A and B are shown apart, each in its own frame.
Chain A
Amino acid sequence: MLWYKGWLETRFRVLFVLGCFLFPVGFFLRHIDPPLPRAVVENLLNSLALFLLFIPVLLAGAGINTQRILFGTYKGLHGSVYFTLSLPVSRLRMLATRAGLGMLETVGVLAALSCGAWFMLPAPRVYLTCSDLFAYWVTVSICVSAFYALSVFLATFLGDEEQMGASIVLILILLMLSTAVSVPSSLNIWRAIGQSSRLITHTFPWASMGISLGGAAILFLAAMRVVQTHEY
């Protein structure tokens, strides 16, 4: 029943994210149809991308050192980690279950937001088609996977709740670096969610998606390694 445990840990976060993000997403996407000047739209999408990165961070976890549902006082290593580790389940399985659940929730939330946004767009929907939003959903899901994996990796040694702050800080640093160092826009994951996204370019940013998946794979492997060797 590891899924059940993970669900109890994340269900309010899922609701929170849906509640907080539905209107901003809708608001942002409204301004694409009918289309505003390109520069404005790009800015809007970039801001939206920043918002969307919070979703995987909030939902990510390693399943081992967990404390509370959303917010609370920092307590360091919670005693319940020993109860979790005393169960006849391998640490890898705990990690896989919790990380898998979080990823499913992330993808699910993004789908819900995309659908919700679709319904918030005023009819007739001329510029954005359904398939556009579907492709947008696929792109964003794949491109946030690297950031999701980063959160999971941090969770393995910081703890599921503690990783949120650290993840956000790290992601912001990475974003600032990506604007300072000129990364070709075809490889920039953030751009792929933001201004280069399917909604504008109508093509899949394959390179960025590839990089994201590659980064996610490496980070997951690192998380597996940490989980197996970590001492509590």
Chain B
Amino acid sequence: MADPVIETQGLQKSFKGLDALSGLDLNVPAGSIFGFLGRNGAGKTTTIKLLMGFLKPDGGHARIFGLAATDAAAGVEIRRRVGFVSEEKDLYPYMTVEQIIRFTRSFFPKWRDDLVRRYLKLFDLPPNRKIPDLSKGMRSKLMLLLGISHGAELLILDEPTEGLDPVAVEDVLRELVALAAAEGTTVFFSSRQLGEVEQIADHVCIIDRGAAIVTGSLDDLKAQYQRLRIVFGEESRTPIRWVDGAEHVRQEGRTVEILARRNVDAILNQARSLPGASVECFPVTLKEIFLEHMRRN
């Protein structure tokens, strides 16, 4: 099995005594599209800043391409192979689109002029316009262009579609997918939009309050979780002790709903064995997994 492109172990960071990250383990396989989901303030941007070397961790370590993200010399090598888009999407206010492309190009020997031409056209970016005169959406697209066009093996994107209209979002997602398919680029992106992550990611990590809640392949996650709905003939007075794996049990009258994270067949058997019970089973969406964990916390 190939080495992970991004690997963190016990990554910790606190600001002024408050924990932003309290031991994050990440494992991003090569060639995957990895969605990093979380609420505002969950620790997504802090993680990305640690990966890029803007911050130094208080504990644990982070490796990209097997190199230590905190080492200064390794950092230069890492950044040569990584395309990055920051949360703020701010660029130099004294440059035009064309100037910043020329500027960025000078740092990357593997620059792809063909990709630049394609994205300038696709994103409709006027080359001679000064950056502050661009709308926020266009600045996002410009930053994406700069991050994608230098033949990077890995993209680290902080909310790349934020502020974009639905058509532009679809364009961006399509380009990311095309890069992954054509060049085998690994894409690591953070997002608050479940829909985008569900659409293109094959691996997912949901982070809340600085720790990973759920992490792994999206297909495996969907297979792991099942929602069971059991309707009884009569309302049961005594609470039922469900077998291990029944994560979230809610009862309303004669209906009981269970979110099962594992051991589904054992729970099913137990449910069916109860007198007068009819059992239904539903697949669980990522949104439900996300909300269920938020509710519990």
Contacts and interface: CB of A to CB of B under 8 A. Distances in A.
Question: Quick check: do A and B touch in the complex, using CB within 8 A?
Answer: yes
Given A89-B76, A90-B76, A67 B93 contact: yes
B86 A68 contact: no
A69 B94 contact: yes
Interface in A41-88: 66-69, 78-80, 82-83, 85-88
Q: Taking each of A5, A69, A91, which has the highest tally of chain B beta carbons within 10 Å of its own beta carbon?
A: A5
A159 B90 CA distance: 16
B86 A78 contact: no
Interface residues of A, number: 25
A104 interface: no
A69 B132 CA distance: 13
B86 A88 contact: no
Given A8-B95, A82-B54, A87 B88 contact: no
A228 interface: yes
Contacts of A1: 102-103, 106-107
Nearest to A86: B84
Interface of B: 49, 52-56, 72-73, 75-77, 79-80, 82, 84, 86-95, 99, 102-104, 106-108, 143, 146
Given A79-B87, A80-B93, A232-B54, 11 more contacts: A1-B103, A5-B92, A8-B99, A79-B90, A82-B88, A83-B143, A83-B146, A85-B54, A86-B86, A88-B77, A232-B55
Nearest to B146: A83
Contacts of B86: 79, 82-83, 86
Contact of B88 (A8, A66, A79, A88): A79
Contacts of A83: 84, 86, 90-92, 143, 146
Contact of A78 (B76, B77, B90, B95): B90
B49 A88 contact: no
B103 A66 contact: no
Nearest to B90: A79
A41 to B, nearest CB: 41
B59 to A, nearest CB: 15
A219 B42 CA distance: 39
A82 B94 CA distance: 16
A97 B22 CA distance: 38
16 contacts: A8-B92, A8-B95, A8-B99, A68-B93, A69-B94, A79-B86, A79-B89, A80-B93, A83-B84, A83-B86, A83-B91, A83-B143, A85-B54, A86-B79, A88-B76, A91-B72
